[in-house]
Amino acid sequence: MKAIQLGFATSLILAATTALAGVSYVVSATYPDGTVIDSGTYYSTSETRAFREKVKDKVCDEKGKGKHTWFYKVGKQKPVKNTAICK
């Protein structure tokens, strides 16, 4: 669990750093099998936060009730595991 939190924090730091530098960065969300859920180019951490919320909604719409794993990736960083808990 600590590794996931560290990876997520690292992603946020990278996002904040590139946003401050005026550089865009690409984020993506995929299912464990590699199927792309969504992707986009963003300039701030608030935009990526909204992106992650949008992905959670898409996952719940597609998969229905339960816990569903998906991966969040910023740029060339290693994907970070996430779980959408759908009610």
- Sketch the domain layout of the chain as residue ranges: 2-86
User: CA angle, 4 as apex, 30 and 63 as ends, to 5°?
Assistant: 35
pTM for this entry: 0.71
Task: List alpha helices for 1-87, DSSP H.
Answer: 2-20, 45-63
Report the DSSP pairing between strands 36-42 and 66-74. Answer: unpaired
| Structure-token pair, residue 72 | 């969040």
Q: What is the residue-level pLDDT of the chain in tens, covering all 87 positions?
A: 333 444 555 555 555 554 445 667 799 999 999 999 999 998 888 888 899 999 999 999 999 999 999 999 998 899 999 999 999
Return contacts of 14-18, CB within 8 angstroms, 24+ apart. 14/74, 14/75, 14/77, 15/42, 15/44, 15/45, 15/48, 15/74, 16/45, 18/75
